[in-house]
Amino acid sequence: MDKLTLDKIKEKLLKEKEFLIKKAIKDQDIEIDTDGDEFDEIQGNLLIGLNNQLNTRNAIKINQIDEALLKIKNDSYGICEDCGDEIPDKRLMYNPHILTCVRCAENRERK
């Protein structure tokens, strides 16, 4: 992978991480009303659960971004974790924190 492509991917990863962190901070300030009648409480609890799921998903994504950034630093970025082949640049540009090539991703899905 050439340095220009790697720099673009690194910039993309850093921007996505910054966005997710800002979103997590903003989401902490959301007030959900669970007072009122039974339906308000049910709706409030559903919103709290959904917000927690989204925060968990974003935390996982931040960890994946950190792993990708560490691999860039260690010169091991873009190598499939399953087979050791290079992951195509186009795939990495589309999803920069991907861990596997297409073939190995398909194999994981089948399992």
- Of residues 36 and 107, the one with the higher pLDDT is 107
Q: Please count the structural domains in the chain.
A: 1
Domain coverage including residue 43: 3-110
pLDDT digits (tens, 9 = 90+) for 63-84: 999 999 999 999 999 999 999 9
Q: What is the pLDDT of residues 3-60, one digit of tens each?
A: 999 999 999 999 999 999 988 887 776 676 667 778 877 887 788 788 888 889 999 9
- Which sign, positive or negative, has the C-alpha torsion 40, 28, 23, 65? negative
Query: Helix, strand or coil for residue 98?
Result: coil
What's residue 33's pLDDT? Answer: 66
- pLDDT for residue 34: 65
Q: What pLDDT was estimated at residue 39? A: 82
d(Cα 34, Cα 37) in Å, to the nearest integer?
8
Helix axes 38-73, 3-28, angle to 10 degrees: 150
- Name the DSSP class of 49: H
Residue 32's pLDDT is 66
User: The domain that contains 9 carries what CATH number?
Assistant: 1.20.120.910
